[in-house]
Amino acid sequence: MMTLTQVQAFYHSATLGSFTAAADYLCTTQPTVSEQVRRIETEYGVSLFVRAGRKLVLTTAGSTLLPWAKRMLDGEMGGDIALRSLVSGESGTVSFGILRNANYYGLSDLAADFIRMHPHVRLRLVGQNSFEVADAVRSGELEGGLLCLPVPVDGLSTMLIMQQEIVWASSDPERCATPMRVEDIPARPIILYDAHHGWNDPSRRQLAQRAQLRGVTIEPQIEVESVNSAVALVANGLGDTLLPRAVADSPSFPSNIHTTPFDHPLFDTFALVTRKGWELSPIARQLAGLAVDRLLSTASRNDQILTRQTHAN
């Protein structure tokens, strides 16, 4: 089978008219170019050129090979251009997972800002539950993503970013006069969001583990998909819920909802995940860095910034 080096030697000898000219173009020697062409001829048992003095003339076999050689070299050049463009940020596609409640974490303008920096890159931002982000990165559907722990991270590498407190929210001020004990939660109707994933949601999973240790059963009366829907129901006095501190601190948070920490604090732990043993492409690395910086920019004095170390799991 012909090698790319052999094809290059043949193609440039044919288009430039001599082995010497091809050697000059390829920055090698005339005997090297001649030997590469001879290997093709030996492999297939044909002559590619009639050597007429200093001028090379294509044979029928050479004329047949020439357009295919051009296609091979065009393809090689196209691949080189595509990869160089991806590395430089001039083109390519990036698929990245972000937090579903992106607007609470400084990520709502991530796409617009990134495309201003890289206008020719195709961007796919997927806002999912952390459980889904982990699965999508593990399968290779996404190059990387931001998520909240705890979720299963087997097959993934994680970079811990920060921790943010989870608070209890109620329209009843007495329910928030002191830190919430898990034992006291069932006293009022419970509203929980992320109905699709249920107790696989990281915040709900922590609550369930805490309740199990204290012998308490927590059964939501209402389950909805979005945190905004849960907040609206709490504001209408239909029950209580747990929330990320970022939601409770947002300007749009209803004034009639009160919050309190748990008696033993619960935290969302934010992390950047990538597939174990794989590296982000340069352009994806830029996007991930921008996303992490935006997330950290929303940190309050109560949030804990974690050491940026990569942990293989």
Spell out where the chain has E strands: 49-52, 55-58, 93-99, 122-128, 144-149, 156-170, 191-192, 222-223, 241-244, 258-275, 304-305, 310-312
Q: Cβ(308)–Cβ(187) under 8 Å?
A: no
**Res. 134: pLDDT tops 80:** yes
Percentage of residues in the chain having pLDDT higher than 70: 91
Q: Cβ(79)–Cβ(87) under 8 Å?
A: no
Residue 208 CB contacts under 8 Å (≥ 6 apart), including other chains: 199, 218
pLDDT given for residue 26 in this prediction: 85
pLDDT in tens, 258-273: 999 999 999 999 999 9
Q: How many CB atoms within 10 Å of residue 91? A: 17
Q: How far is Cα 135 from Cα 148, in angstroms, rounded to an integer?
A: 13
Q: What is the mean pLDDT of the chain?
A: 87
pLDDT given for residue 90 in this prediction: 54
Q: Which of 87, 107, 82 is nearest to 97 (CA)?
A: 107
Q: How far is Cα 313 from Cα 309, in angstroms, rounded to an integer?
A: 13
What distance, in Å, lies between the first and last C-alpha atoms of the chain? 42
From the options 3.30.200.20, 2.70.98.60, 3.30.56.10, 1.10.10.10, give the CATH code of 4-88.
1.10.10.10
Q: Where are the domains of the chain?
A: 4-88, 93-313
pLDDT in tens, 5-21: 898 899 888 888 888 88
**∠ CA 278-269-181, rounded to 5°:** 155
Q: Which fold has domain 93-313?
A: D-Maltodextrin-Binding Protein; domain 2 (3.40.190)
pLDDT in tens, 204-221: 999 999 999 999 999 999
Q: Which of 53, 46, 50 is nearest to 14 (CA)?
A: 50
**Res. 167: pLDDT tops 50:** yes
